[in-house]
């Protein structure tokens, strides 16, 4: 008999192959083991511990490709469409095999991995301090499967250090690790500004008033070579009213104070403005068909979905129809949904079976049943520019201790 202490309850499990024994764990130790088992696709702590034992055994070996992760169950094919497939399980185990994803076969890896947060989330995030080491096994496979002309795009949010108003550097350390250890190139950094973000962290923003709200995610665009295929002509934005006026009435060529020589070519209508590396897109879904389906079928909604406009931007700029797009942290499979709509082949993998069941609803029926195509907003988002004078300072003293003392 093996007795495991689970949240102050004694759960009995039998195993005829072993002697009787008892494992005493604290609540935190058991919770950590449960979360680790869940992240790697094991049904319970027992199976996870057995797999760890097998991994450490000298008799355990990888398959003939040398890539398979020992002791980790292979993901199962959960759903197929005309262009794509959803797998349920550990994506590291899936990508560790040359079938279904061969060497140099992927045009774009578009993903939003679990963020390295200080508080555990239902979707299985890693602790910020351990994040980079955890991500290395994925980095190796990303480099293997990506074409020389392909791109790796990672949407990743930041984290605050526990108990103090300073930021973790884990997402920058991740970027540096991928570039130094796996020799990825940073093609360009992007920033996704979510205008609808709540003013968090509340302790430092709302209560002690020593920080502003955290409303931007980093998006790292990486590549195996300095010259991945791309075209910004596919993601042009409408001209601003001032640019439209300039095109209509003309512009006098001259040298600007910044040193840029603005020639007559500046008056050419190129069909739109080149966008900046700031993606302004509110994440305000509250009653989409995906969400209604999850509620009607008692399925959890994935809490960290990015809006369709984020993957659509990069799929459009970095791939052609028929290309292969992979999302190893699929969540609700928004990347697969967008990619199907845009005529690309795709493969998504998600660890949590209930999230997979909800994701499958995006593809029910002929084609994609749910037209959750994201924001229909046509007007640009606005943010006020800092200016002088900003306002009176009277009665608004600075926190001389930097917010160390909580206001009463």
Q: Let me know: does 224 contact 148? Beta carbons within 8 Å.
A: yes
155 is catalytic: yes
Residue with tokens 């499990």: 13
Q: Which of the residues 75, 90, 107, 113 is marked catalytic?
A: 113
Rounded CA-CA distance 320/342 in Å is 9
Q: Which of the residues 75, 91, 107, 112 is marked catalytic?
A: 112
Both structure tokens of 173: 């350390």
Q: Which residues contact 75 (CB under 8 A, 6 or more apart)?
A: 41, 87, 88, 89, 90, 91, 93, 94, 349
Rounded CA-CA distance 96/196 in Å is 38
Which runs of E-coded beta strand occur in 243-301? 254-255, 261-262, 278-280
328 is catalytic: no
228 is catalytic: no
Residue with tokens 């008056």: 267
215: closest CA among 163, 275, 283? Answer: 283
Q: Which residues contact 118 (CB under 8 A, 6 or more apart)?
A: 127, 128, 159, 160, 161, 162, 168
Q: Which of the residues 155, 214, 323, 372 is marked catalytic?
A: 155
Active site residues: 112-113, 155
């Amino acid at each position: 008999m093996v007795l495991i202490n689970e949240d102050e309850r004694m759960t009995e499990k039998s195993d005829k192959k072993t002697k009787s024994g008892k494992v005493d764990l604290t609540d935190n130790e058991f919770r950590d083991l449960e979360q680790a088992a869940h992240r790697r696709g094991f049904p319970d702590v027992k199976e996870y511990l057995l797999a760890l034992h097998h991994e450490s055994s000298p008799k355990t070996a990888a398959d003939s490709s040398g890539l398979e992760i020992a002791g980790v169950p292979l993901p199962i094919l959960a759903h197929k469409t005309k262009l794509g497939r959803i797998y349920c399980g550990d994506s590291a185990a899936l990508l560790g095999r040359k079938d279904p994803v061969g060497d140099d076969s992927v045009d774009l890896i578009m993903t939003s991995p679990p963020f390295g947060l200080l508080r555990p989330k239902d979707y299985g995030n890693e602790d910020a301090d351990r994040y980079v080491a955890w991500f290395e096994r994925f980095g190796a496979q990303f480099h293997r499967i990506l074409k020389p002309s392909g791109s790796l795009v990672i949407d990743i949010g930041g984290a605050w250090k526990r108990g103090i108003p300073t930021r973790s550097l884990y997402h920058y350390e991740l970027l540096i690790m991928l570039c130094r250890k796996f020799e990825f190139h940073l093609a360009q950094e992007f920033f996704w500004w979510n205008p609808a973000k709540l003013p968090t962290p509340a302790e430092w923003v709302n209560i002690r008033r020593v920080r502003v709200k955290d409303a931007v995610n980093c998006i790292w665009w990486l590549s195996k070579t300095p010259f991945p295929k791309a075209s910004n002509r596919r993601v042009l934005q409408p001209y601003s009213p001032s640019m439209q006026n300039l095109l209509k009435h003309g512009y006098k060529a001259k040298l600007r104070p910044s040193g840029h020589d603005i020639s007559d070519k500046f008056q050419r209508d190129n069909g739109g403005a080149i966008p900046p590396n700031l993606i302004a897109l509110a994440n305000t879904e509250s009653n989409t068909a995906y969400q209604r389906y999850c509620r009607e079928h008692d399925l959890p909604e994935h809490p960290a979905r990015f809006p369709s406009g984020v993957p659509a931007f990069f799929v459009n700029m970095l791939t052609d129809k028929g290309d292969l797009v992979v999302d190893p942290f699929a969540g609700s499979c928004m990347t697969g949904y967008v990619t199907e709509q845009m005529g690309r082949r795709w493969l998504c993998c998600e660890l949590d079976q209930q999230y997979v069941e909800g994701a499958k609803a995006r593809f029910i029926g002929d084609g994609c049943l749910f037209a959750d195509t994201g924001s229909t907003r046509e007007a640009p988002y606005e943010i006020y520019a800092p200016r002088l004078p900003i306002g009176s300072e009277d009665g608004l003293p600075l926190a001389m201790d930097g917010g160390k003392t909580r206001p009463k």
